[in-house]
Amino acid sequence: MLALRGYSRLIGYALLGLGVAIIIAPFLWISLQSFKFEIDILQGSWIFNPTLTNYTDVLYSRRSDFPVNIWNSLVVATVSTIFVLIIGTLAAYSLSRLKWNKYIAGGFLGWTLLFNMISPLTLIGPWYLIFREVGLSESLTALVLIHITLHMPMTIWLMMSYFNEVPKDIEDAAMMDGCRRIDVFWKIALPLVKPGLIAAGVLSFVFSWNEFAAALNLTSMDTATVPVAIARFAQQYEIQYGQMASASVLSTIPALFLMFFGQRFVVQGLTMGAVK
């Protein structure tokens, strides 16, 4: 946009390089720590014998629950993503294309917005009591239900903006030719919003994988997810810095994976709602 020439161009590139370095450096530094023995971490040495002990301790040691935590996180994130995609996409189509009483539609959308604004911790007390009441307390099912609820507003709003982009004429033409609404949805609208489905899917998977506040309070030792486990590393009486570092690095794998393979969809998903 601006025309940078000569010195200002040089300064521009330098600033940008600095910015990128500041963003990446903490991640590189913690990766470095995860390959150090505890003693090297505490001495802050830059030259050290790299080791995989931290990773093997976290993943294979008999005292470590981390594999269980990873499994729990995978289950919760996968199941909640599938459900939130189905429920959210249907709702988005309904609100963007089908006839609705404006009070119901407006009320519903307003409520999802309000719910998205408040901290999930404000509802954690009632959730805890309700799940206790129905015998789901500290179960993965409860956490899956909460994650579906938490990521529903985002999915609905995102999918609505994709459905709104589908030209109405195509759907009308199909209806004229005798297609039922349900066929229009299934055979025309849904294939056209596939990029939106992928964007919403990857975002809700990552957000569910990352979610901490609800997982902390609604899970027990056996059902704890990865973020809860990392928080536990940090709160032990004697902090195992190396294991904490390696667990943190392991927890970012889905994010890194997405960064390399799904970047287009992530950027689309994060900016789509905002730019409109």
Within residues 165-184, the interface with other proteins by CB under 8 A covers 177-178, 180-182
Of the candidate spans 57-65, 97-105, 165-173, 192-200, the one that interacts with other proteins by CB under 8 A turns out to be 97-105
Of the candidate spans 48-56, 164-172, 189-197, 253-261, the one that interacts with other proteins by CB under 8 A turns out to be 253-261
Give the CB-side neighbour count of residue 216, counting CA atoms within 13 A. 13
In whole angstroms, the minimum distance from the beta carbon of 125 to other proteins comes to 5
Nearer to other proteins, 62 or 178 (CB): 178
Of the candidate spans 47-55, 162-170, 193-201, 203-211, the one that interacts with other proteins by CB under 8 A turns out to be 203-211
In sign, the C-alpha dihedral spanning 265, 267, 272, 274 is positive
Please tell me the distance from the alpha carbon of residue 49 to that of residue 51, in angstroms, as a whole number.
6
**What number of chain residues touch other proteins (CB under 8 A)?**
102
Judged by CB under 8 A, does residue 248 bind other proteins? Answer: yes
Among 37, 53, 59, 212, binds other proteins (CB under 8 A): 212
**12-51: contacts with other proteins (CB under 8 A):** 12-13, 15-16, 19-20, 22-24, 26-27, 29-30, 33, 41-44
Residue 207 has a CB neighbour count (10 Å cut-off) of 17
Judged by CB under 8 A, does residue 241 bind other proteins? Answer: yes
In whole angstroms, the minimum distance from the beta carbon of 28 to other proteins comes to 10
Among 152, 154, 158, 160, binds other proteins (CB under 8 A): 152
Judged by CB under 8 A, does residue 233 bind other proteins? Answer: yes
Nearer to other proteins, 62 or 177 (CB): 177
Among 108, 139, 195, 240, binds other proteins (CB under 8 A): 108
**56-85: contacts with other proteins (CB under 8 A):** none
Is 156 exposed, middle or buried (CB count within 10 Å of its CB: 0-12, 13-18, 19+)? buried
In whole angstroms, the minimum distance from the beta carbon of 248 to other proteins comes to 4
Nearer to other proteins, 62 or 237 (CB): 237
- Tokens 């994010």 identify what position? 255
Please tell me the distance from the alpha carbon of residue 178 to that of residue 174, in angstroms, as a whole number.
7
In whole angstroms, the minimum distance from the beta carbon of 38 to other proteins comes to 11
**112-151: contacts with other proteins (CB under 8 A):** 112, 114-130, 132, 145-146, 148-149
